[in-house]
Amino acid sequence: MNISFDGRTVIVTGAAHGFGRAISLAFAARGATVWACDVQEAGLQETARQGGDLVHVRTVDVSNRDAVRAFVQEASGGSRVDVLVNNAGGVLGQVGRPVEEISEDDWHAIFRVNVDGAFYFSQAVAPLMKAANFGRIVNISSGAGLGVSLTGIQAYASAKAAQIGLTRQLAHELGAWGITVNNVAPGFVRSNPTTERQWESYGEEGQRRLVQGIAMKRLGSPDDIAHAVLFFASDFAGWVTGQILSVDGGK
């Protein structure tokens, strides 16, 4: 399968490391003009360095609706965005705690990044995609959104489940304009400082149990997630929408 994105404009959120960087580089390697954003400036600059002239980076807080709209306006030139990848998210440094100890701010902070950000970006690109009668929106959720979070973070599992619901709803709303909306649900991948700390916290025995619980008996990589995104964004997936693809090595 030869997938090309020559002439396409792609927005990737959460692109300073991990999945977002791998996704940005994968699109650029196949000819797309990529607009990548994050709140971590240093990581963004490394993504830009690796991506070359086709990768443009901006510091954007995805929970700020006005900032999102300004970024989409710049990336699109006011006319076109072909692909949106809502990858920004995570646990924001939180750890698993009993439900009665969770503050209102901690609960809402995770929702703002994982759900509100995906909504604001989808809302901003929808008029452009409708005008073009074409578009691809790919949301990056998590196995936690389909089951339970390995970290025990209630807001994270809930936010990722909400993002999956948003995916299905937007697929039905936007399909008449040739816009597909799909979701990639990664399993555990060592892709950033947070997942490295999580991996180390399991110890040798916990790491062994985690890997043995995977059908393929190995962890995946950020490239495995990027490849699933490329499929959903490609012409090969033109009649695929509202779907959640678990990329987890088999459970």
Tens of pLDDT along 44-96? 999 999 999 999 999 999 999 999 999 999 999 989 999 999 999 998 888 88
For the segment 163-201, what is each residue's pLDDT rounded down to a tens digit?
999 999 999 999 999 999 999 999 989 888 888 888 888
Q: Is 166 among the domain residues?
A: yes
Q: Is 217 among the domain residues?
A: no
Report how many domains make up the chain: 1
Q: Is 204 among the domain residues?
A: no
Q: Is 205 among the domain residues?
A: no
Residue 72, number of CB atoms within 10 A of its CB: 23
Residue 207, number of CB atoms within 10 A of its CB: 14
pLDDT at 196: 86
Task: Identify the CATH number of the domain in which residue 158 sits.
Answer: 3.40.50.720
Residue 61, number of CB atoms within 10 A of its CB: 17
pLDDT of residue 248 exceeding 90: yes
Domain housing 92: 9-189+222-243
pLDDT at 182: 98
Q: Is 121 among the domain residues?
A: yes
The confidence band for 208, taking pLDDT boundaries of 50, 70 and 90, is: very high
As a 3-state breakdown, the chain gives helix, strand, coil percent values, each rounded to 5, of 55, 15, 30
> pTM, whole model, 2 decimals?
0.95
Q: Is 211 among the domain residues?
A: no
Q: Please work out, in degrees rounded to the nearest 5, the angle formed at the alpha carbon of residue 71 by the alpha carbons of 156 and 110.
A: 10
Q: Name residue, tokens 């990548």.
A: 36
Q: Which of 141, 144, 143, 188 is nearest to 164 (CA)?
A: 141
Q: CA 113 from chain center: how many Å? A: 11
Name the residues annotated as catalytic.
156
Distance CA 213, CA 33 (A): 39
For residue 161, give both structure tokens: 């489940």
Q: Is 226 among the domain residues?
A: yes
pLDDT at 181: 98
Q: Is 209 among the domain residues?
A: no
